[in-house]
Structure 1
Amino acid sequence: MTTRLLLSLRVTACGGMLLAASILLAAGCTSSSSQATEPRATAIVVFVDFSSSVSKADLALFQQELTTQIIPSLSAGDRILIAPITERTLTDFRPLVDVTLSAKPQFNGWLDNVLRYNREVKDVEAQVIQLKDKLRTEVAEVFAKPRSSPHTDIFSSVILANKVFHNESRRKVLVLMSDMVEDSPPYRFETVSWNPATNQKLLADLDAKGLIPDLSGVCVYVSGASAKSAEVAESIGDFWVAYFKQTHADMDPSRYAHVLLHWPPAKGCSFD
């Protein structure tokens, strides 16, 4: 009788320990899975063309796309940097806007208090809303100031984007708001005689000058693409698609357009 009672107690104790372990393991798994499903933050670099070749209507469109598409898509932990494309893009680089949104706190099911964690998350969400409102105001101020440049140095903008993205752990997105008509010595796209050999010659020359950076893992968008004729615009578009292919960036032709298309970036856009 005593032996049976002891065995029963042992079995009950073991069952209790197994049940407790299962509960703890479930809590740990829930914590891990919640962290795993948390989306990775994104770093967005936007270069805006303020050269004389870009019309006021296009500048208004750029501002609209920033305030109605890009800024609303920002989440906790994201960074957005906005800079101008000018004739001195590389030598006189100064971001017009550079904001990093507060990141959500990490939840550890073993250590953290759920109520306190939820309060911290709500605080961060409120901060993000305030920062996004502030961003809209800053963007409006940027476009309200008269800015003009006689030339367009897009290649230097791409080089600078590569520098900004260096050691960046967030998902990387480059947005070029420009007509994409490079106009800086010695590259003047409006005067180029476009033919099947032009792209290869240009790319070889750019590569020799170190103007084709490695943009692996970068998702590229173009808004504002245009030219003096549809034929020239198509030739310039073909060049840029080939150029970004050389940089190893993710530049799908569907994201090269006169307006911002397919925003926000899909999870599969050069992202792990």
Structure 2
Amino acid sequence: MGLSEDAQLQPILLGLFLSIYLVTVLGNMLIILAVSLDSYLHIPMYFFLFNLALTDICFISTTVPKMIVDIQTHGRVISYVGCLTQMSLFIIFGCMDDMLLTVMAYDRFVAICHPLRYSIIMNPRLCAFLVLISSLVSIWESQLHNLIVLQFPYFKDRQISNFFCDPSQVLNLVCSNTFTKNIVIYIVGATSGFIPVLGIFLSYYKIISSILRTPSSGGRFKAFSTCGSHLSVVCLYYGTGFGVYLASTVSNSPRNNAVASVMYTVVIPMLNPFIYSLRNRDIKSALWRMQSRKF
């Protein structure tokens, strides 16, 4: 059903979301290039940041291009296969964001609490294994949704009160069994919500405890500064996510929920590269070295 039926707003929405999409792709691509081409950034922290930037590009690409085409063509129809594909990719890359933020919190925990053993613990094999596990968990969560939806292989004239195939709304359309639907929601909530938040909370609990035991104020500031970018993204990502959830429980308006979902599906992937670029000296130095080599 899109975000608005007002014909006068369509050109504004087209320009706005096209601009956001291009900025998001360009910003995350700069981070990917900086990490790939600069040898100073070939460490675990930026290896995970590389994967997060790639995931953000894929995440926003599952929803915004289709919405831009719908606005341009004045059509809001999606096929069953297209809806299933969009929903699957949305779950995969959304869950990947959650898992990678948790892995990055663990990386900061090892760097601050076990600095002398950091290179031994966070070896390339473990880093690749953590990213692989994150991918497998994300794919498993996506297939869990698909197993329910595929029981109803045909839809016609069904309305989704959003600008994309929201997994929760698709699940409501196909799943008349409340018990089965609740089981899926609880499993998905635990996998992509509770467990990552718990891992991040425990990591930062250990980090803060270790920092407070540091005698010098300069050492405490340096330790906090290494976590600043990641902590900002975590607060922004989960803050907006919980905000959308609370808004959906308080408000019964599907259109308001669609507008609120823009925050975590569109705005957050755009803000991530700005946060990591503006608050991270290594990224800024790498981008400056890239520009100097180009000239």
TM-score normalised over the length of structure 1 = 0.30
Higher RCO by CA contacts (8 Å cutoff, separation 6 or greater): 2
Larger radius of gyration: 1
Structure number with the higher helix fraction is: 2
